[in-house]
Amino acid sequence: MWVNSRSLEYQGKSGQMNNIPHHVAIIMDGNRRWARDRGHEVLFGHEKGAGTLKMIARQAHDRGIRWLTAFAFSFENWTRPKPEIDGLMLLMRRFLENDVNELHAENVRLRVIGTRDRLSSRLVRLIEWAEEETAGNTGLNLSIAIDYGGRQELTNAARVLAAEVARGIIRSSDINEDLLKSRMGSSALPDIDLLIRTGGEQRISNFMLWDISYAELFFCQALWPEFSSEIFDSALQSFAQRERRFGGDSALDVQQDARVGLNVTPFKAQPR
């Protein structure tokens, strides 16, 4: 089972309801290191990582998270050895061939973001079929980033808008944040609330640059195949304890300002 049939609301140690992120994104780092540390081929680590993603998708649904996005293969990953790339593409095909029907039965909607011109025609057809098959589902929105790069996505969106201006479809003055987002491959995805990276690295690696503008970041040492439900809950608890300001004041700041205002003696001009 990919997800349970009903959503459970997550409660922390205090028993009180915590703030749940609407959209969680994960940089799944450490598959290769995990495999090599155990004397296995790197593809064995990728297979184990696929199992971890299934487990976390279940848990995300149970915690009431509506959107989950996973970084599976980056624009830069094409520089890896060809046998590893071929094996990864095979794993992706197997996932689409074997798991999509189960995703569909569990009301999961699947999207694949990233460019597709370097993928095989067979894989592209499977992606299109999977997206169409699950398009009407209203449960967890699961997005997989394949051949994805944040800079490349923004560049492509800018190129599309430039072409539309050149053809007279829009004016340059029409371009705003919403219009730029609408031309991005991830246009259907909302802003990311929580970005998790495994594997001990503390960088974002060209992932979802637009949508993580105000995301909370959570880094952990665990390699992706060993990422557990307990660590995921720790990330959610960390998120729940943070106060998101979006460039403004927190609720505490507003309360303190109000108290200060009450204690200030009004200034009265003295007659000359």
Task: Determine the residue type at 159.
Answer: R
Tell me how far apart the alpha carbons of residues 237 and 218 are, in angstroms, rounded to a whole number.
11
Tell me how far apart the alpha carbons of residues 235 and 13 are, in angstroms, rounded to a whole number.
14
Catalogue the active-site residues. Answer: 29, 77
Would you say how long the chain is, in residues?
272
* Residue in the block written with tokens 């594997």: 199
Tokens of 233: 């809950």
> Which residues, at least 6 apart from 129, have a Cβ–Cβ distance to it below 8 Å?
96, 100
Tokens of 255: 């309360």
Closest CA to 8 of 229, 241, 271, 245: 229
Tell me how far apart the alpha carbons of residues 38 and 28 are, in angstroms, rounded to a whole number.
18
Asked if 45 and 225 count as a contact pair (C-beta separation under 8 A), the reply is yes
Q: What is each CA distance from 239 to 17, 23, 102, 188, in whole angstroms?
A: 13, 12, 30, 23
